[in-house]
A and B are shown apart, each in its own frame.
Chain A
Amino acid sequence: MTDRQNVFTRAILGVGGGPMDRAIVRLSAALARPSRAELVAVHVVEMDWTLPLDADLAAGSEDAQRALDMAEEAAEDAGSTLETVLLQARNVGAAIVDEAAERGADLIVLGLPYRTRFGGDFDMSRTVPYVLKNAPCAVWVVRQAIPSEET
């Protein structure tokens, strides 16, 4: 991680269909280009316990497909390529960590959206803390700009 020319070789990008997806793809693509690092966008559909884990849910979900397609398009716009992976799991964080471990990734990139409701705060959800705690590699959390910073 210290070599600036070779920041990472394989990164898992967690895309949730939110406003941060394009930002993390663009950033990762820019950093991946010099070393031709691999980028894998992962979208996890969280399965309710009332449904079996292998229920036919994600394949028919246009939102899930669109999140990954948008990530792929953003990577192409940034002059890079990206593999897309669609998962169904009970725990989004665990699925991302397991996918990173299986693929031997050396970086996980997550977006951290900012919610303006209730005075405004970053939406950590359960996923970011879980990944930070259990990831087998480095984790980058890219936060959304606070509205006051944008002006």
Chain B
Amino acid sequence: MIGGRRPLTGRKPGDRRVRVERPHSTYFRYTGQGMLTAKRAASAPTTAVGRAVAGVRGLFIGRPLASEEESGERLSKTKALAIFSSDAISSSAYATEEILRVLLPVGVAALLLSVQISIAIALLLAAVAFSYRQVCLAYPNGGGSYTVSKVNLGRTVSLVAASALLIDYVLTVSVSTSSAVEQIVSAAPGLHDVQVFIGVGAIALITIGNLRGLREAGNIFAIPTYLFVVAALIMIGLGTYRILVLGEGSGYTEADLEATTTTLEGVTILLVLRAFAAGSVALTGTEAIATGVPAFKPPESRNAATTLLVMAVLLAILFIGITFLAAGFGIVPGEGADKTVIAQVAETVYGAGSIPFYLFSIFTALLLFLAANTSFNAFPRLLAILGYDGFMPRQMSFRGDRLAFSYGIIVLAIGASILVAAAGGETHLLIPLYAVGVFIDFTISQSGMVRHWLTTRAEGWRWRLTINAAGAVLTGGVALIVTFAKAPTSLLVLVLIPSLVLLMSFIRRQYDAQASELEVQSDAVFEGPQRQQRVVIPVNGINRSVIQSVNFGRTLASDVRAVYVSDDVAAAELLRRRWEHQVPGVPLVIVESPYRAIVGPVVAYLDVLDRAWPPDVEAPVTIVVLPEYVARHWWDRLLYNQAARRLKAALVGRPHTVIADVPYRREH
């Protein structure tokens, strides 16, 4: 072998060939002129500890994926309906209960009002859906409220939208998970005491799944939505038949009904508004389709708009249907051993302890977990966009081994887990926080669309502008109602949103300042360095590590000096004599340190050198070369280089100073 080339003889005389080594091929691949692509081996850990950590990570998260392995699957309307609607449709599992909880204190008969309130919310849903159809058609690349407001309403408003969205995504996870766990507890009441653990555990599992690169586009995610929808529609059909045709239902007593008139007199407009605000959580998740337009098969906008309408119709039927059954069967929240309202409805229709009841409970829980999972896709993506735009730390936009935005996923999991634990796994304690941000987002998005139509004046703009303006006014009004009706808890969101806006503005300002500080004019040409350099080497004696550093220092500048700090004058004098003999041409400066300090005298010496430089000449760059002994094991690192480490810490940020570590490695 000569320099990676091995001569070989052939079968015939004179047929010789040379096999050439390809050292790069293990780690890199040439993919174009002057372009190398790193293979997986290039980023593989090289130490035993690193390999062990990577092994454990691989066990939980899976093997690293290359960027080109990302799935670019486009969704059909049927599949997209299931995947994007899970958040919205799942809210029908708890929205009815929230209305009933508000009305219950007035009296059982007041619960009859819940049907009218649910119809009013369904009308609001229709208005919002029509408005968002315009967003789908106008923004084929995805019309999240952040995107729409950034383009049309400017930075501050878009940051308000982003903050509201971030808060809502965290709440979607905590509310959906809590509700799913409540659903499980309704079917298995024995689990009541551990419901927080189940909730946090479920979030942990979803987190691991997403860190593994779980995609919401898989068929597996479409199934729970349809299972729930079919089971719920059957339940509504059977229940309605029993109430309207067989005359069953009405768990209210005669006395309750007789008291209806008297009771309803006590129902104030404020109470109705509060019930309306509580039930409006049913609208959460409506915007998901408008955000995910690019994931649809072509024609994307048209397909997304159609899917949005189908989703709104389905949600309205489910929400009104479940509320009707709850009112019809006289179901009261908070009774019946921790059973949710939807579980009580299912129990009444399908029969307590029956297989259909348990199946329905499982489907509902699955759908709610799936709704939580949608936020695990949307939240990190929004954080990544904010990271790209400079409003969040840039690492938020880095993708992990499995192509997932790992930092965002972890932030979301921590935030949602804290909320679930703080609320003790009770959904209704989290609801007042929910929906406030959603309606702020709706309003901002619709207002942005009004501006969009005014600016573009595209075909049919007047009609579209009217729809979006009506949507903006309506959702703006509801945002106010929801905020004040759910006060004081809801006001927390109004504190959180400006705080997040301030934080994001601060981060952006920092990045802008850094960028302007580092900016290089595009027409500037950079010649070689003009500035003088000098080298200072703190030494602890004469040894191989020091000699290696001195030799390295000699290659950097002609002005090289060593500094020895000691409190033992005699020993220092001995060293000087030896140094002059063994390291000629490099002066050794001995600094006596009667107080035994090492770092301080070295820094002070550098300051003195700087001050001694003529003030009319540009100060030289001082290169502090630190000899460093490389420890062989992780456990003996504590034994070496402590003074060098402290010196390095003291010199970081010192003007005109560069620190160079020169590691000395043992050959054997």
The answer, yes or no, to whether A90 is at the interface (CB within 8 Å) is yes
The answer, yes or no, to whether B2 is at the interface (CB within 8 Å) is yes
CB-CB under 8 A for A94 and B33, given A58-B20, A69-B25, A102-B8:
no
The answer, yes or no, to whether A29 is at the interface (CB within 8 Å) is no
A66 to B28: give the CA distance in the assembly, Å: 11
Q: Which chain B residues (546-572) contact chain A, with CB distance < 8 Å?
A: none
How many A-B Cβ pairs are below 8 Å? Answer: 78
A99, B22: Cβ atoms under 8 Å? no
CB-CB under 8 A for A88 and B3, given A65-B22, A95-B10:
no
The answer, yes or no, to whether A78 is at the interface (CB within 8 Å) is no
The answer, yes or no, to whether A85 is at the interface (CB within 8 Å) is yes
The answer, yes or no, to whether B656 is at the interface (CB within 8 Å) is no
A84, B22: Cβ atoms under 8 Å? yes
A88, B5: Cβ atoms under 8 Å? yes
Instruction: Look across to chain B and name the residue whose beta carbon is closest to the beta carbon of A59.
Output: B20
The answer, yes or no, to whether A101 is at the interface (CB within 8 Å) is yes
**What's the nearest-Cβ distance from chain A to residue B71, in Å?**
16
A54, B18: Cβ atoms under 8 Å? yes
**What's the nearest-Cβ distance from chain B to residue A139, in Å?**
16
Chain A residues, CB < 8 A from B70 = none
Chain B, 403-441, contact with A by CB distance < 8 Å: what is the 0/1 string? Answer: 000000000000000000000000000000000000000
The answer, yes or no, to whether A68 is at the interface (CB within 8 Å) is yes
Chain A, 58-77, contact with B by CB distance < 8 Å: what is the 0/1 string? Answer: 11001001101110110000
A62, B10: Cβ atoms under 8 Å? no
Chain A residues, CB < 8 A from B30 = 62, 65-66, 69-70
Chain B residues, CB < 8 A from A89 = 15-18
The answer, yes or no, to whether A105 is at the interface (CB within 8 Å) is no
A53, B7: Cβ atoms under 8 Å? yes
Chain B residues, CB < 8 A from A54 = 2, 5, 7, 18
The answer, yes or no, to whether A91 is at the interface (CB within 8 Å) is yes
The answer, yes or no, to whether B633 is at the interface (CB within 8 Å) is no
**What's the nearest-Cβ distance from chain B to residue A44, in Å?**
7
Q: Which chain B residues (18-39) contact chain A, with CB distance < 8 Å?
A: 18-22, 24-25, 29-34
**What's the nearest-Cβ distance from chain B to residue A105, in Å?**
13
Q: Which chain A residues (95-119) contact chain B, with CB distance < 8 Å?
A: 95, 97-99, 101-102
The answer, yes or no, to whether A86 is at the interface (CB within 8 Å) is yes
Chain A residues, CB < 8 A from B7 = 53-54
Chain B residues, CB < 8 A from A58 = 18, 20
Chain A residues, CB < 8 A from B8 = 98, 102
Chain A residues, CB < 8 A from B34 = 62
Q: Which chain B residues (96-135) contact chain A, with CB distance < 8 Å?
A: none
The answer, yes or no, to whether B632 is at the interface (CB within 8 Å) is no
**What's the nearest-Cβ distance from chain A to residue B26, in Å?**
11
CB-CB under 8 A for A98 and B20, given A56-B5, A69-B29:
no
B19, A87: Cβ atoms under 8 Å? yes
Tell which of B12, B17, B33 touches A44, judged by Cβ atoms closer than 8 Å.
B17
Chain B residues within 8 Å of A, Cβ to Cβ: 2-5, 7-8, 10-12, 15-22, 24-25, 29-34
* 10 pairs of A and B residues whose beta carbons are closest in the complex: A98-B10, A89-B17, A66-B30, A69-B29, A88-B18, A95-B17, A94-B15, A86-B20, A58-B20, A69-B30
Offer 20 A-B interface pairs, CB within 8 angstroms, sorted by A.
Answer: A44-B17, A45-B20, A53-B16, A62-B30, A65-B24, A65-B25, A65-B30, A66-B31, A69-B30, A70-B31, A84-B22, A86-B22, A87-B19, A88-B5, A89-B18, A91-B15, A94-B15, A97-B10, A98-B10, A98-B15
Chain A residues within 8 Å of B, Cβ to Cβ: 44-45, 53-54, 56, 58-59, 62, 65-66, 68-70, 72-73, 84-91, 94-95, 97-99, 101-102
